[in-house]
Amino acid sequence: MNLQLSPSPTEMEQAFYRKDASYDGVFFVAVRTTGIFCRPSCPSRPKPENIEFFTTIRDAVFAGYRPCKRCHPTEVYGALPDWVMSLMQRLEATPNAKITSAELRSLGITPERVRRWFREHYGMTFAEWCRGRRLADAFTRIREGAELDDVVFANGYESHSGFREAFSKTFGVSPGQSQNEDYIATQILETPLGALLVGAVSQGICLIEYTDRRMLEHNYAEICKRFGYPVLPVTNNQIEHLRDELSEYFTGTLTKFTVPLVVHGTAFQERVWSELQRIPYGKTISYDEQAHQIGQPTAVRAVARANGMNRINILIPCHRVIGKDGQLTGYGGGLWRKRLLLELERTGKFPGNEASE
């Protein structure tokens, strides 16, 4: 199949003049008369004879263009905000610290902004996120045989009753009954494609989602419902395994993941997702082919919907499914991510999109 990784000039021009944000990151628009380059969704409207197109930030910069201050094209690939990184590093250094609203303001961050960001990206407020980290540490230490007194006070609780109440509310059982319980550990991992929210139970990975995707909140709620476990903002062995493998994948040195997956969906969804995992690294198929391969050739639309409901991106490679005509279509993380993933798998190198070296 003839795979079209880059849109045609006509398609790029049409996308730019209709301000189609789904093309952000797929290509960049440079304006000769101003010397700047933009996202396709930028509100500016230069004349067609004054523009040219680039598929990477690097190419635009090396051609002498500077990034637009209106649409900030160099930020299209996403990253954790500096203030979020600062808070997380602060808590890594002192895990049991309680950061008050007054302390946040002293750091130049409003509590409202913190609450909103953590709710949008973790499904919980910052206070709940901090409490979840403390309780996850307590859960682990109890299962490892630590004395309850040590666990209670090491995690910042002033009394046994307060600790027991918080623990039971989160895990649904008392500390002494937690030996056979589990939880969903969650972390945000930085990647060349932007931040990923990943989730894992003790048996394997159950969530890999782009933090800017509209389906994030739905998928987050879905794993909570399907597993019936509390979600806690900590890491575990499966997430650290995934972290290592993703790092190797994005450098082109890993072509097959070994971290186990825990997939909970409908019977049909699981058949579709299982077929996705059979697509070899560096190869693509169409939705029609995928439907034939699961034995339901007329279920092309249902297959496409099931692909869209995939909650474990990259490892269940729905990015390897393209249109019948070879065009890139239908990726919840954005077409720009799909293009970069396929280019990585085609060449063994992640496409250079840095603004400078």
Tens of each residue's pLDDT in the chain, 357 residues: 556 566 788 888 998 989 888 788 888 999 999 889 999 999 888 999 999 999 877 778 777 788 888 888 877 666 667 788 888 878 777 766 778 888 899 988 888 888 888 887 777 788 878 777 777 777 776 666 666 666 665 555 656 666 666 666 666 655 655 555 688 888 888 888 888 889 999 999 999 998 877 667 777 778 888 888 888 878 899 999 999 999 999 999 999 999 999 998 899 999 999 999 999 999 999 999 999 999 999 999 999 999 999 999 999 999 999 988 888 887 888 888 898 899 999 999 887 544 434
Instruction: Report the alpha-carbon angle 109-112-118, nearest 5.
Output: 90
| Tokens 């029609």 sit on residue | 288
Predicted pLDDT of residue 353: 46
* Annotated active-site residue in 38, 130, 206, 224: 38
Alpha helices in 277-348 (DSSP H): 287-293, 300-308, 335-347
Token duo for residue 162: 């307060």
Q: Is 295 exposed, middle or buried (0-12, 13-18, 19+ CB in 10 A)?
A: exposed
* Nearest-5° Cα angle at 212, 276 to 113: 155
Residues belonging to the chain: 357
CATH ID of 9-75, from 3.30.379.10, 3.40.50.10490, 3.20.20.140, 3.40.10.10:
3.40.10.10
DSSP-assigned states of every residue in 217-230: HHHHHHHHHHH---
DSSP symbol at 51: E
Per the annotation, does 68 bind a ligand? yes
First to last CA, the chain: 34
42 is in an annotated binding site: yes
Active-site hit among 130, 206, 224, 318:
318
SS3 351: coil
d(CA 278, CA 301): 20
Q: Residue 348: how many CB atoms within 10 A of its CB?
A: 13
pLDDT value at residue 171: 62
Amino acid at 125: T
DSSP 24: B
Strand order in the sheet with 51-54: 51-54, 28-31, 36-38, 66-67
Residue 224 falls in the annotated catalytic set: no
CATH number of the domain at 82-181, please?
1.10.10.60
Of 202, 169, 207, 163, nearest to 189 by C-alpha is: 207
Give, to the nearest 10 degrees, the angle between helix 126-143 and helix 111-122: 60
Instruction: Provide DSSP, 66-119.
Output: EE-TTT-GGGTT----HHHHHHHHHHHHSTT----HHHHHHTT--HHHHHHHHH
Is 206 labelled a binding residue?
no
Domain 267-347: state its class: mainly alpha
Closest CA to 178 of 188, 187, 186, 168: 168
Q: CA-CA distance, 171 to 34, in Å (whole number)? A: 58
Query: 194 - beta bridge partners?
Result: 191
Please state, as a whole number, how many other Cβ atoms lie within 10 Å of the Cβ of residue 125. Answer: 16
Distance CA 99, CA 104 (A): 7
Q: Strands 204-210 and 231-232: what pairing?
A: unpaired
pLDDT of residue 273: 97
Strands 194-201 and 204-210: antiparallel
**Helices 126-143 & 82-93, crossing angle to 10 degrees?**
30
43 neighbors 71 (Cβ within 8 angstroms) = yes
Model pTM greater than 0.85? no
Task: Name, in order, each residue with C-beta under 8 angstroms of 266's C-beta and a sequence gap of 6 or more.
Answer: none
User: How far is 319 from 329, CA to CA, in rounded Å?
Assistant: 9
